[in-house]
Amino acid sequence: MLKKIPFSSDAEDAIRWLSGALISLAVIHGLIGLIYITCGTCGGLWGSWLMFSADPILGVVMTTIVLIGFVIGLILLFQAFVLLGARTQFALVLQTDDDDQTYLVKGLAKLRTFFIVEIIFLLLAIASSALTAVQSALQLGSHLI
Amino acid sequence: MSIKHIPLTADQEKVINGLALAMTIAGPLAVLAGLTELGVGILQQSIIDVPDGENKMINIAMTLGCGSLGFIFKVALGIWLITGARAFKAIVTSDDDDQAYLEIGLSKLRNVFVTKVVVIFMMVIGALAVIALVAGVAAIFASIS
């Protein structure tokens, strides 16, 4: 195990910038996650409760959407903690010289987790865009007919 | 002085391989997501019925402009993710200049995360600018009438 990796000043700058970006992104993810969980869920459930009396099916649909939003909020909070964990490890690489290799790999492991969640989000975004495209194409077809 | 061989344990090699794989998958998906978002945006604008006096082509051009900017960011992210993944993979598969590969990988990660933060801030600033513009125009109309 390497206790100290003799990074160049450019590499140290890169790690410093990476740490800064990770903490900023963690705060953003955390805030958006909290907004989804608190405001989104409370407001959404209130709306779906009102909707249930008018149309039960729409109420169920609305509740499902709200619950999906709640899960997304939880995932965003999870990502925020992962990013904060990675940032802590990279900061230790810069600040200490007692076990650089371990800290670095721990930080990279956190980023691997972050990217796995990102892949899921990207797949969902692509699927959602594809569904919207199909819907728009059908609408366009009916316009032309 | 650069370290040619970083003595990674089997678990640490697994972590770095996993990160490289996740980045290799996330890169092309980011580009694909940008492309589908742009395509769907233009498709939707082209089928929406606009009120009299509004020009549909202006809406399409605006969607194309904003969407292209988002697409360019996604392409940049995709390229950095793929090149970063290659560098991390090279740490595990070769022993000719591990530290240099690590520094390349870290600099690509910095680019990815700094760009993500910049894009989010630009979106927030853009949204605030639009709100301020709408509020300003509304205030002017209110003072005239």
Pick A122's closest partner by Cβ from B29, B40, B43: B29
A60 touches chain B (CB under 8 A): no
Mean pLDDT of chain A: 91
**pLDDT at residue number A44:** 84
Please indicate, yes or no, if residue B37 is contained in any of the structural domains: yes
| Model pLDDT for residues A104-127, shown as the tens digit of each residue | 999 999 999 999 999 999 999 999
**pLDDT at residue number B18:** 97
Distance, CA of B84 to CA of B86 (rounded, Å): 5
**pLDDT at residue number B52:** 65
C-beta atoms of B120 and A18 within 8 A:
no
Closest B-chain CA to A133: B40
| Model pLDDT for residues B11-68, shown as the tens digit of each residue | 999 999 999 999 999 999 999 999 998 888 888 877 777 666 667 778 788 788 888 8
Distance, CA of A74 to CA of A71 (rounded, Å): 5
Between B130 and B102, name the one with better pLDDT: B102
Chain B hits for A119, Cβ within 8 Å: 22, 25-26, 29
Over residues B66-85, the mean pLDDT reads 93
Specify the 3-state DSSP secondary structure of A7.
coil
Between A143 and B107, name the one with better pLDDT: B107
Please indicate, yes or no, if residue B4 is contained in any of the structural domains: no
Dihedral, CA of residue B17, residue B19, residue B24 and residue B26, to nearest 10: 160
Dmax over CA atoms of chain B, in Å, equals 75
Distance, CA of B73 to CA of A68 (rounded, Å): 27
Sequence-distant (6+) residues with CB within 8 A of A117 are A75, A78, A79, A82
ipTM over 0.90: no
**pLDDT at residue number A115:** 98
Chain A hits for B100, Cβ within 8 Å: none
State the smallest CA–CA distance between residue B139 and chain A in angstroms.
29
| Model pLDDT for residues B121-140, shown as the tens digit of each residue | 988 898 899 899 999 988 89
Please indicate, yes or no, if residue B113 is contained in any of the structural domains: yes
Pick A21's closest partner by Cβ from B22, B36, B110: B110
| Model pLDDT for residues A11-39, shown as the tens digit of each residue | 999 999 999 999 999 999 999 999 989 98
Indicate if the pLDDT at residue B90 is higher than 90: yes
Distance, CA of B92 to CA of B99 (rounded, Å): 11
Closest A-chain CA to B118: A21
Please indicate, yes or no, if residue B96 is contained in any of the structural domains: yes
Q: What's the Cα-to-Cα distance from B43 to each of A104, A123, B110, rounded to whole Å?
A: 45, 20, 34
**% pLDDT > 90, chain B:** 57
Distance, CA of B130 to CA of B139 (rounded, Å): 14
Residue B25 sits in which domain range? Answer: 10-144
With beta carbons less than 8 A apart as the criterion, state whether A104 and A93 touch.
Answer: yes
Length of chain B: 145
Q: Which of A47-51, A124-128, A135-139, B103-107 has the highest mean pLDDT?
A: B103-107
| Model pLDDT for residues A40-81, shown as the tens digit of each residue | 888 888 888 888 888 888 888 888 888 888 999 999 999 999
Please indicate, yes or no, if residue B53 is contained in any of the structural domains: yes
- Which residue is associated with the tokens 């939880």? A74
Mutating which of A83, A123, A129 best tests the B interface, going by the most B Cβ atoms within 10 A?
Answer: A129
Between A89 and B1, name the one with better pLDDT: A89
Q: First vs last Cα of chain B: how many Å apart?
A: 73
Between A6 and B64, name the one with better pLDDT: A6
**pLDDT at residue number B50:** 66
Closest A-chain CA to B33: A126
Distance, CA of B103 to CA of A15 (rounded, Å): 9
Please indicate, yes or no, if residue B2 is contained in any of the structural domains: no
Distance, CA of A84 to CA of A56 (rounded, Å): 42
A142 touches chain B (CB under 8 A): no
With beta carbons less than 8 A apart as the criterion, state whether B34 and B75 touch.
Answer: yes
Distance, CA of B15 to CA of B20 (rounded, Å): 9
Please indicate, yes or no, if residue B3 is contained in any of the structural domains: no
Upper half-sphere CA count for residue B64 (Cβ side, 13 Å): 8
Over residues B70-75, the mean pLDDT reads 92
Indicate if the pLDDT at residue B87 is higher than 70: yes
Percent of chain B that is helix, strand, coil (3-state, to 5): 85, 0, 15
Structural domains in chain B (count): 1
Indicate if the pLDDT at residue A86 is higher than 80: yes
C-beta atoms of A28 and B117 within 8 A:
yes
Mutating which of B73, B77, B110, B116 best tests the A interface, going by the most A Cβ atoms within 10 A?
Answer: B110
With beta carbons less than 8 A apart as the criterion, state whether B30 and B80 touch.
Answer: no
Chain B hits for A133, Cβ within 8 Å: 36, 39-40, 43
